[in-house]
Structure 1
Amino acid sequence: MPAVFVRGDLFADSTLDALAHGCNCAGAMGKGIAVEFRKRFPRMFAAYKQRCEDGLFTLGDVFVWKDEGRTIFNLGTQKTWKHRAELDAIEKAMRRMVAIAEREGLRHIGLPRIGAGLGGLVWEDVRRAVRRVGEATTVRLVVVETYEKGAPIEPAAI
């Protein structure tokens, strides 16, 4: 199903079945949208940090967390916060994510411009990878390309 690129606030939309974001593999969520995930899902952050410390979360991995009816996909996209995101790791993690989502019957996953902010990648390169993954799945990838605080995602996208 083709990915859609929208305006809005990832956290302001309760119609999405799941949320996803890129993570480093060192256990830090100190900047960018990761801070919001850490604040909103503190138990998820603690479990993610422990997985990283135990060496169980590496590039291309997916750590799935379920909390209060929401599924969160933490995608291993950077070795550490000091390193750039890796496009291959993003695509590998997203493919794993949609395979899990298909098995679990999830229909819509919201995600930010993964890897293109603090991850340092060129958004158009990442966007092409998102499109490739989207074309090979029945799960709708809803990418918040333009952030608007508090604004719900356009209903037509979901």
Structure 2
Amino acid sequence: MAEGGSNKTGFHLEEKKGDLFTCPSTCSLAHCISEDVRMGKGIAVLFKKKFGGVEEIKKQGAKPGGVAVLERGGRYIYYLVTKVKYSNKPTYDSLRSSLEAMRDHCLKHQVKQLAMPRIGCGLDLLKWDEVHLILVETFHETDICITVYTL
């Protein structure tokens, strides 16, 4: 995928104010869900409306600490399964494990650009400082550029 004339390689994490869904169409997207694939609150509702695929996600059978993946419009949509039920809260360990699963998929499929909200920090109440650190620890040895969007 072209990176707009940029010849920069290596991991990069950028935070940006704005709507996640305005990211370039070359970016793969990620957010957190529960194993029951409810997606009834928060940004998950928008993912469900925009990309559908609830049955497709359920069929993949991802457990907490795993990731379900949809392919839409030449990019991947990552569903980080971080808890069993929508009413549960994830742990930093389940988030880390889901991020590692996503990283491995990204590397296998040459994904270079990822866009996501402050994952786990909205309704799930994880602390961004800790999540940011986990993102850096998980992706620092890749050449994936991650843009984190906040409204």
TM > 0.5 fold call: yes
When normalised by structure 1's length, the TM-score is: 0.82
Residue of structure 2 aligned with 1:26, choices 29, 36, 51: 36
Shift of 1:137: 1.6
Could you tell me how far apart the structure 2 residues matched to 1:76 and 1:16 are?
Answer: 23
Partner in structure 2 of residue 151 of structure 1: none
Partner in structure 1 of residue 7 of structure 2: none
Could you tell me how far apart the structure 2 residues matched to 1:117 and 1:17 are?
Answer: 22
Partner in structure 1 of residue 4 of structure 2: none
Unpaired runs of 5+ residues, structure 2, are 1-10
Tell me if the contact between 2:57 and 2:69 (Cα under 8 Å) persists in the aligned partners: no
Shift of 1:39: 0.2
Tell me if the contact between 1:6 and 1:143 (Cα under 8 Å) persists in the aligned partners: yes
- Structure with bigger helix share is 1
Does structure 1 residue 98 correspond to structure 2 residue 97?
no
RMSD: 1.5
Could you tell me how far apart the structure 2 residues matched to 1:5 and 1:27 are?
Answer: 27
When normalised by structure 2's length, the TM-score is: 0.86
SS at match of 1:106: coil
Partner in structure 1 of residue 50 of structure 2: 40
Could you tell me how far apart the structure 1 residues matched to 2:114 and 2:126 are?
Answer: 21
Could you tell me how far apart the structure 2 residues matched to 1:46 and 1:97 are?
Answer: 20
Shift of 1:139: 1.1
Report the count of equivalent residues. Answer: 141
Q: What residue identity is the alignment partner of 1:30? A: G
Cα deviation digits, residues 130-153 of structure 1 (max 9, x gap)? 121231222112111x21xxxxxx
Unpaired runs of 5+ residues, structure 1, are 148-158
Could you tell me how far apart the structure 2 residues matched to 1:20 and 1:27 are?
Answer: 14
Residue of structure 2 aligned with 1:81, choices 77, 86, 91: 86
Shift of 1:14: 2.3
Tell me if the contact between 1:59 and 1:77 (Cα under 8 Å) persists in the aligned partners: yes
Partner in structure 2 of residue 129 of structure 1: 134
Tell me if the contact between 1:27 and 1:50 (Cα under 8 Å) persists in the aligned partners: no
- Structure 1 vs Structure 2: percent identity of aligned residues? 28
Cα deviation digits, residues 75-133 of structure 1 (max 9, x gap)? 11122111111111111111121221122111101011111111121221111111212
Q: What residue identity is the alignment partner of 1:3? A: L
Tell me if the contact between 2:32 and 2:80 (Cα under 8 Å) persists in the aligned partners: yes
